[in-house]
Structures are given as structure tokens and as C-alpha cells.
Structure 1
Amino acid sequence: MRTTNSSEVSIKILLIGAAGQIGWELRNTLAPLGDIVATNRSILDLIDEDAIRRTVRSAHPDLIVNAAAYTQVDPAEAEPDLAMKVNGHAPGVMAQEARRAHAALVHYSTDYVFSGSIRRPYREDDEPNPLNTYGKTKLAGEKAIAAVDAPHLILRTSWVFGARGKNFFSTIVELAREREELKVVDDQIGKPNCSKAVAEATAEILARVSSRSSRSIVEGIAEASGSYHVCGEDHTSRFGFAEEIIALYGRRAAARGLPPLRVKRLIPVSSADFLTPAARPHYSVLSSEKMAQTFGVTLPSWREQLALAFDEMLLGGSQ
């Protein structure tokens, strides 16, 4: 840890997966906390455990933030070994190296570690039971981290979207420009979360952890080690999410004089009518109560997050 003056302490952060949706936002939100060493897949391939160890040892971080993952839910069914190496094995290696370096680890996980068999928001202590390979590999990563005696925060989030990259939000907008009719599943319920809001919440959690500890951010994370759900309070279906995307685009585009979407009909369908290689939980709503109680951090509603993402997308020149 580097001390800049008597009142300011700056940490060194190794950010893994800096080119991803959340990682891209973390480059900005974590900057006030310290010096960032950022890696992406072209620099660090997470299937290479020796490369992970070399990267961590070269960086000498106080904090490792892993925003990298194999996130392609359907392709993971055909590539389980690759998904397991990235999602299951690599986080364990990072935890081992964090312990060796007397550092802490922040890692992101997913609502897909749950089966959706209960109909109330999932708490952190509910038993995971993933339905698909992606969820199983992410759960393996959680367990690998927990098995190592290193300070860590596992931050589960869900339905990540943003103005940048390919996600449900960008896909719906793209399809709505091309087609007059869209079919969207209406029996999968969860909480959409904007990548920027997740990154901002992460930075706020770390800032509060650091301020509470009289010693260092590592000790602060050690005191709070465990899993937390980082998401807003309200939930919706995939269909409801798509409805709001299309309605909001209409309002935002009209105000800016942009051409309207081509889509005229949005049709709700069941998951059985929209078969995919990977099964999805019908209900994967996460409770964010623990995050709010422990850190005093909350996220805006998904509608507020979506409006901000739309403004960013439109101001960025998307038409």
C-alpha cells in the first residue's frame, strides 16, 4: 500500500477483465481508490493458471478485482471444460495469490447459481442449485474462493446490461430496428442491473469498507468477507424489461429527433416456446438487503438505470 500523505492512502488495484461490461466501468469508478493495473483477455488468458500467478506477482496488488468470466450461457453447454477453467478454476487461483500477497479479492458471480424453485427473493445463505453449465461453473468459482483463507467479497448480480457491449438491452434495440414483431419470454423473472450501477456500487462498498477500517482496505474486507447481492430493489420479467426498453426508446428517440423503431408488436411467450441449449431459472430475484444493511449501499430501480443507459447510448451516437 502506498501512502501519499498523512491523510490520503492509495491502494494498488489489479483489475482483471477490464474490457468487459462491468470491468470497463470499474476502470473509472475504482480510479479514486488507487492506482489501477488493468488486464484483458489479450493480456491475460484465464485458462492459463501460471499466467494468472505471474500477473498477480508482477503487479503486487493490495486488491484484486476479477470482472472477467465466461458469460455465454448457451455456448457453455458445449464448452463446459473451458467455462470451468475460466469461471471455476481461475478465481481459486486468484484467491490463492491474494492470500500469498496479503491482498484481498473482489469477484463477481450470478443469480444463475440458483434454480428458481422458490418464489421469494434469494438471500445469500440460500442453497445454490444451478440449472445450467454456466451457473455450475460460477458456483464452482465461488466455492474455490471460499475454500481459500483470503479476504474476499463475492458480489452476485443479475441480468447485466449497459450502453456498451452485447446484452439483452442492446439486442432488443437491434432487433426492434429490424423486425415488426418480437417474441420475448414472459416467465423468467429477475432484476436487471446496469453495468455502470454495479461498478459504482462496488466502488462505494470498497470506499466504505476502507473508511471503517483503522488499518487497511484488506483488513476491512477481511471483516466483511462473504457473498453479497448487488442489485436494485424491484424486479420484472424478460418481457416487461423488453417492453420498457421499447417504450423508453420511443420517448428518448422522439425527443432527439431520431428515427423510430420498426417493431410494432411485442408478443409474450413461455420458455417452452423459446427453447435454448441452457435452461434458465424461472425466478432468480436476488435480495439486496444484506448489502444495504452491511454497507449502506443501494442501487437505483432498474427503470432508472435503464433511462441512464439509454441517454448514454443515444448521446454516444447510436441510432
Structure 2
Amino acid sequence: MRIVVTGLTGQVVSALIERAPRDVELIALGRPRLDLSVRDAVLAALRTTRCDVIINAAAYTAVDRAESEPDVAMRVNGDGAGYVAEIAAELRTPLLHLSTDYVFDGKLDRPYREEDATNPAGAYGRSKLVGEQRIARIHANHVILRTAWVYGPSGTNFVRTMLRLGQSRDEIGVVADQLGNPTSALDIADALLTIARRVVADSTPALRGVFHMAGAGEASWAAFAEAIFAEAEKHGRPPVRVRKIGTAEYPTPAPRPANSRLDGGKLLRVHGVALPPWRQSLAPCITRLLATETV
């Protein structure tokens, strides 16, 4: 199977490169050859690359900066996703697209399901929702996968930030009134590879559409941080106390959903895919990070 993935250095792209088995040829395309904000560049780059499936993993992910440059976020996440869908439709190729919990406002009192109403509160979420809508309109052979709280052994993420801060502090204030599903980029990559094989082999419409894909179990950011420091202690790091704070004590330019929990039941029923419990995936990630001292 030959897969083209947009992006070169993102957490999920790096994980896909690491996890791809020998019978999968993975081609990563990013800037300057492929710039999602430029239609001609997207079409040209993807048109010349034969593949069985396209994974759109590239995105504008600077959530706070998007509030001051919403047009840039929209060009990449909204327009760019549409451009990828255009060429996927032209090539009659399945398209897997990564989206986000930020398409919801976070006000629901249970994990979000795919059919729940979207209502993004910030520019980043709005741009990602437009991307979803354009893909659905342009190319029926798509799988949109919303995920949340992504971390891994590469890139910038919450786990690496906590480990870095823990080197110089014995107490860190972390938000305790936002809930979500910590999700390993490596687990996302494994799931994407499984789903890609499925949609290439089976044209059943029920396998297409929107799905939620996040680590099993839930946590607040504070609980997530406590788990990170507990694992780090097992490797000889000094203890770090987590001081639980409210969202109001840590203001950010972009509003954060109080509830980012995603219900993965549909993905399990339809594709037979369930991501592991987040605590299970966290431990080997921290082992890798501390062994290589890359935090």
C-alpha cells in the first residue's frame, strides 16, 4: 500500500513514519513543495504522486496565534483541506483527514459524539470545521477523524512541556477544570494505518464519514500532569507537586473547551479500532523522552 501524507515534521507525521510497516510505502509531503494554503501547489504536488490513500495530517495548529491571524488559519485548515479533497476526488483516492475537539464549544456534560452539534469558540476551531465541511462536500470517499490532546516523543506537546518545567520547579500550577482524552500520536498513527487499509480494500459507504479517535479514559490537565510526573519519578526525576488551578487563573487568547472528551464508540463499532487507555500509552512515551533527554 502506498500512502501520501501531508506534512513533514508534525507529531502524527513523525509517528506514521515510525510505525509504517514494511509493506507500506509512506511519502510525506510538506513545504515548500506542498503548501496547503496554495491551491496550485497542493494540486501539483499530489497529482504527480501515485498513491492508494491520502492522509491530510498537516494543519495550522497554533491555537492562540490563530486569534490574531484567523485568515492564515482558514487558508491552511479550511481552504487547504478543500484543496486536498479536490485532488483526492480527481484521483479517486480515499482521503483520511485529522480534525479536532475544538469544533465543539465544550459545554456538553458528557463525551461528544459525532452527531452532536458543532459550535467552535475560536478561530482555530472554526477553520478546522470549515475544512471538515469542504471535504464532505467535495469528496464522498473520506474519513474525518477528530482527536484531542495529542502528545508524543517528538514535536511540541504538553508532556514534553511538563517534563521540561519539572527540571527547574518543584511545583507547577495546572488547569483542573478542563477535561479531555490525552492521545498518543503513536496510537493515532497505528489507527490511521489500520483505517487506511480498510478503506482501500472496502468501498462500503458506512466506513466513511466522521469519527472520533482519542485515547481511552479521561483526565483534567492537572491529572494528566500528575501522571506525567509520577512516571518521571520512576526514572529518577525529583517529585513535582501539581497545584490545581482554574481556567480563569490561566487566561489564553483562544478559549479552551471545558469538555474536550470524545466518544470513540462509533470508530470501534464501524472500524473495530479503539485507542488504548491513555495512561498505558503515556508510560513508554516518557521512558523514550527521558532516555534520550529530548525534553
2:215 equivalent in structure 1: 232
Counterpart residue number, 1:40 = 30
d(CA) in 2 for partners of 1:293 and 1:149? 23
1:294 matched to 2:270: yes
Q: Please say which of residues 290-299 and 12-21 is displaced more in the overlay.
A: 12-21
Distance 1:59 1:206 in 2: 17
State the shift of 1:264 in Å: 4.0
CA change 1:60–1:267 in 2 (3 A) is same
Q: Which runs of 4 or more aligned residues in structure 1 lie more than 4 Å from their structure 2 counterparts after TM superposition? A: none
* Count of residue pairs the alignment pairs up: 295
In percent, how many aligned pairs have the same letter?
A: 39
Tell me, yes or no, if the aligned pair for 2:14 and 2:154 is still in contact at 8 Å: no
| 77, 92, 115: which one aligns with 1:87 | 77
Post-superposition offset of 1:33: 5.2
Normalised by the length of structure 2, the TM-score is 0.95
For 1:204, which of 163, 172, 194 is the aligned residue? Answer: 194
Deviation at 1:265, TM superposition (A): 3.0
- Please name the residue that 1:309 is paired with: 285
Aligned-pair RMSD on alpha carbons?
Answer: 1.6
Q: Which amino acid aligns with 1:247?
A: A
Q: Structure 2 CA distance, aligned partners of 1:121 and 1:146? A: 23
Provide structure 2 residue ranges, at least 5 long, that are not aligned to the other structure: none
* Displacement after TM superposition at 1:224 (Å): 1.4
Residue 194 (str. 1) matches residue 190 (str. 2)? no
Distance in 1 of aligned mates of 2:240 and 2:187: 31
Q: Report the TM-score, using the length of structure 1 for normalisation.
A: 0.88
Residue aligning to 1:123: 113
Q: Which amino acid aligns with 1:57?
A: R
Retained in 2: the 8 A contact 1:191–1:232?
yes
Describe the superposition over 1:69-103 as per-residue Cα deviations: whole angstroms up to 9, x where unpaired.
11111111011011001111101111111111111
Does the alignment pair 1:102 with 2:100?
A: no
Q: What SS is found at the alignment partner of 2:97?
A: strand
- Name 2:152's counterpart in structure 1: 162
Q: Could you give the per-residue CA deviations for residues 128-148 of structure 1, whole angstroms, max 9, x where no partner exists?
A: 111111111110100010111
Amino acid at match of 1:101: L
Aligned-residue offset at 1:114: 0.6
Deviation at residue 55 of structure 1 after TM alignment:
0.6
CA shift digits 1:261-302 (9 cap, x unpaired): 4x6432111001111000011011000000110111111111
Structure 1 CA distance, aligned partners of 2:53 and 2:20? Answer: 11
The alpha-carbon distance between structure 1 residues 288 and 201, as it changes in their structure 2 partners (threshold 3 A), is same
Paired with 1:193 and 1:115, the residues of 2 have a C-alpha distance of 19
Query: SS at 1:38's partner residue?
Result: strand
Could you tell me whether the CA contact under 8 Å between 2:54 and 2:94 is conserved in 1? yes
CA distance in 1, matches of 2:110, 2:243: 26
Say whether the 8 Å CA contact 1:95–1:150 is kept in structure 2: no
* Contact in 2 for aligned 1:109/1:142 (Cα 8 Å): yes
The answer to whether the Cα contact below 8 Å between 1:33 and 1:207 also exists between their aligned partners in 2 is no
Partner of 1:298, secondary structure, is: coil
Q: Do 1:62 and 1:102's aligned partners in 2 also have CA atoms closer than 8 Å?
A: no
SS in 1 for 2:259: coil
Secondary structure of residue in 2 paired with 1:178: coil
1:284 aligned onto 2:260: yes
Letter in 2 for 1:227: V
C-alpha distance in 2 between matches for 1:72 and 1:121:
24
Structure 2 counterpart of 1:77, from 54, 67, 70? 67
